[in-house]
Amino acid sequence: MGILNVTPDSFSDGGNHASVEAAVAHGLRLVEEGADILDIGGESTRPGAEPVPLDEELRRVVPVIAELSRQTDIPISIDTTKAEVARQSIAAGALIVNDISGLQFDPEMIPLCAEQTDVGIICMHIKGTPQTMQQDPRYDDVVREIGEFFEERLATLEGAGIDPERIVLDPGVGFGKTAVHNLEVLKGVPTLQKLGRPVLIGHSRKRFIDKLLRRDVDERLWGTVGISLALAGLGVDLLRVHDVRATVDSLHAWRAVRDG
């Protein structure tokens, strides 16, 4: 999954793809590099980020989704917590809703996803909100507690008429977790997969890599790739990354060694 942020303030690439033309060009570049899915977001969810007004988020994402869905056949995901943004993005061509709140922040999101029966759902774990999530997050057992959260979410969504086969689980690396928690989550991927749903990890360029390697955000490619390969070895289902070509090439080389 290639990341396409159309925001001025995302932690890694904010402002790089602010115009529709620049965003579409970058999205097509990610497809050429080997992305299987494009994840488009118009609201930064970095720690401390402030919410974006509905009209502004729609203005950022809908034209980009419409144009990319015209120019490419690969699935497009809308990264949003707002049901109306999801609704208009689906109308423009998005096939997946990626909600960092686990479909909790907007009470209309679950009914929308129940209504849109052909749309995939990425359900993420977060502790708090982007404004509060990194204020001393604590867990007794982070993997167990995330697993319990997903069990509750899966039951709630199925009770609302959403087929569990449509759902991918994202444990939310960097969302209400310390660097130690994040490493425990990464190692816990096989445990989370026992819930019977695919697991997505979004670790690309995140701050905990700085804790490991002492690297600024624009120097975290190789830390990201190393973690991607470790996750591939654990059997992760989806990787959400900024640097698609480096990830795809590394995975091809890793598979060549693994498979002989």
Every domain of the chain and the residues it spans: 2-259
Q: Are 169 and 123 in contact (CB under 8 A)?
A: yes
Strand 96-99 versus strand 76-79 pairing type: parallel
For 8, other C-beta atoms within 10 Å of its C-beta total: 12
CA distance 86 to 69: 15
Return d(Cα 148, Cα 238) in angstroms, integer: 21
* Annotated catalytic residue within 220, 240, 245, 255: 240
pLDDT for 260: 84
Q: Which long-range contacts (CB under 8 A, 24 or more apart) does 159-165 make?
A: 160/110, 160/111, 160/113, 160/114, 161/114, 162/110, 162/113, 162/114, 162/121, 163/117, 164/196, 164/197
Query: How do the pLDDT tens digits run along the chain, 260 residues long?
Result: 999 999 885 545 545 667 899 999 999 999 999 999 999 999 988 888 888 999 999 999 999 999 999 999 999 999 999 999 999 999 999 999 999 999 999 999 999 999 999 999 999 999 989 989 999 899 999 999 999 999 999 999 999 999 999 999 999 999 999 999 999 999 999 999 999 999 999 999 999 999 999 999 889 999 999 999 999 999 999 999 999 999 999 999 999 999 98
Q: Which pLDDT score, from 0 to 100, does residue 47 have?
A: 86
Q: How far apart are CA 192 and CA 143, in angstroms?
A: 8
Question: One of 70, 206, 215, 245 is an active-site residue; which one?
Answer: 206
Predicted pLDDT at 14: 47
> Is 240 known to be catalytic?
yes
Strands 120-124 and 76-79 come out as unpaired
- The alpha-helical segments, DSSP class H, found in 7-53 are 20-33
Contact 62, 100 (CB under 8 A): no
Beta bridge partners of 2: 38, 241
pTM over 0.85: yes
The three-class DSSP label of residue 124 is strand
Half-sphere exposure for 74 (CA within 13 Å, toward CB): 17
Residue among 235, 236, 232, 258 nearest 247 (CA):
232
Is the domain defined by 2-259 classed in CATH 3.20.20.20? Answer: yes
What is the model's pLDDT at position 119?
99
**Is 194 in the active site?**
no
